[in-house]
Amino acid sequence: MKEHFLNLGKQPIANKFLYEYEIENEYFYNLSVCINLDNFLVSLCNFVPPEQMFNNEYVYHSSNSITMKKHFADISKEIKAKINPKRILEIGSNDGVFIKNFDKNQTVCVEPCGNFAKITEEAGYTTYNEFATPTLFSKLKDSYGGFDIIFSANCMCHIQNIYSTFEGICSLLWNDGIFIMEDPSLLHTLQNNAYDQFYDEHAHIFSLIAISNIAKQFDLCVYDAEKLTVHGASNRIYISKTYKNKTERLQKLLQEELNFGITYFETYRKFAKNVEKSRIQLQELLKTLKGEHVVGYGATSKSTTIYNYCGIGPDLLPYIIDTTPDKQGKLSPGTHIPVIKYEENWWKNNKYAFLGAWNYLDEIKNKEGTFINNGGKFITHVPTVQII
């Protein structure tokens, strides 16, 4: 049984940065979130057609961040040392930030965004420019038989039919195969009021409890998990085809979720109230600082939810700076704040920067010493609305 608990209003495609002439045809949908009380899977109530989001114009490059490059180099090293796989499948390979750490002959990539599939294909990696559907899974089964590792980072949460995907993964794993997935953590989202993790692409935000329940349904076994700091906070979950005892760290993380109340509807009701409070506080803060030169730092997908839910447009935030060329010179989705190129001296005209990319706070603080030393301050809404 599904219960609705959060309404974030009318929202555009979070990553569809656009030109002025595209405004009149901009796509909107109603963003609301519900929980399935049978398995505790938290999902959007209405999904957006996948082709609206994942197409040849997708703009998010994983390799853009030093943090993410290192993150994927580290896990690749670990997989090689501990498992030494013969054949790896990556679902959602983006620009190859993970897979390029492996030999081209042992890998297969799946990437629905044509512009990104082209990057790995041109680099010599076998790439299927398709969505992860049952049809693709049977094609992969016919061509390769199976895989010892299936890896998917920040992609399972994008896949609307999570059940057929688990079924497909189960069919592609060798008996001793391991599926490793990492995605934003529901526990962190709720604990830190990070409601901006909800947007069109994030069809689900997973708890370990929900993933354990879904895996069980397909005779898969969640046996290990670790907490990661990337993307705010994520879980890396290890799933095997054969039964394995739960590691101690997984048991601890599951207990943490239970203690927080992940399986109680009241927890979600409370979260929704905090989200509403956060909206009022952020609106008030930005209104108070109007005229004080506040800039947006990082044109993230997450920030699309914030700006549209809180009604923040160019009157409160005249522009956003971002390092991604594909976003620069465009307007932010829905509230149409200009996105401009990141320049070394951006801080000269700005006293405050609202952190759209709050998940990279450490990386940004390291990089922006001059802004901070000149009295510049960051603003965030996570875990509460505040000037840092």
In the complex, the residues that contact ligand DWN under the rule CB under 6 A are 60, 64-65, 154, 201, 231, 298-302, 322-324, 327, 342, 357, 359-360, 363-364, 367
Beta bridge partners, 234, equal 184, 228
Q: How far is the CB of 376 from ligand DWN (least distance, A)?
A: 14
The kind and range of the H/E element at 119 are: helix 114-122
Q: How far is the CB of 367 from ligand DWN (least distance, A)?
A: 6
Q: How far is the CB of 60 from ligand DWN (least distance, A)?
A: 4
Q: How far is the CB of 139 from ligand DWN (least distance, A)?
A: 25
Instruction: Pick between residue 206 and residue 223 the one whose CB is nearest to ligand DWN.
Output: 206
Q: Exposed e or buried b for every residue in 194-229, given b needs 16+ CB within 10 A?
A: bbbbbbbbbbbbbbbbbbbbbbeebebbbbbbebbe
Instruction: Pick between residue 114 and residue 261 the one whose CB is nearest to ligand DWN.
Output: 114
Q: How far is the CB of 242 from ligand DWN (least distance, A)?
A: 30
Instruction: Pick between residue 226 and residue 326 the one whose CB is nearest to ligand DWN.
Output: 326
Tokens encoding 260: 């927080």
CA distance 125 to 383: 40
Local structure of 22: helix, strand or coil: helix
Instruction: Pick between residue 161 and residue 323 the one whose CB is nearest to ligand DWN.
Output: 323
The kind and range of the H/E element at 79 are: helix 66-82
In sign, the C-alpha dihedral spanning 14, 17, 23, 25 is negative
Tokens encoding 97: 């930030």
Q: How far is the CB of 155 from ligand DWN (least distance, A)?
A: 7
CA distance 388 to 379: 6
Instruction: Pick between residue 217 and residue 370 the one whose CB is nearest to ligand DWN.
Output: 370
Structural contact between residues 28 and 290, judged by C-beta atoms closer than 8 angstroms: no
DSSP for 141-169, please give it: HHHH--EEEEEEES-GGG-S-HHHHHHHH
Q: How far is the CB of 295 from ligand DWN (least distance, A)?
A: 11
Instruction: Pick between residue 16 and residue 231 the one whose CB is nearest to ligand DWN.
Output: 231
Instruction: Pick between residue 240 and residue 332 the one whose CB is nearest to ligand DWN.
Output: 332
Rg of the chain (C-alpha set): 21
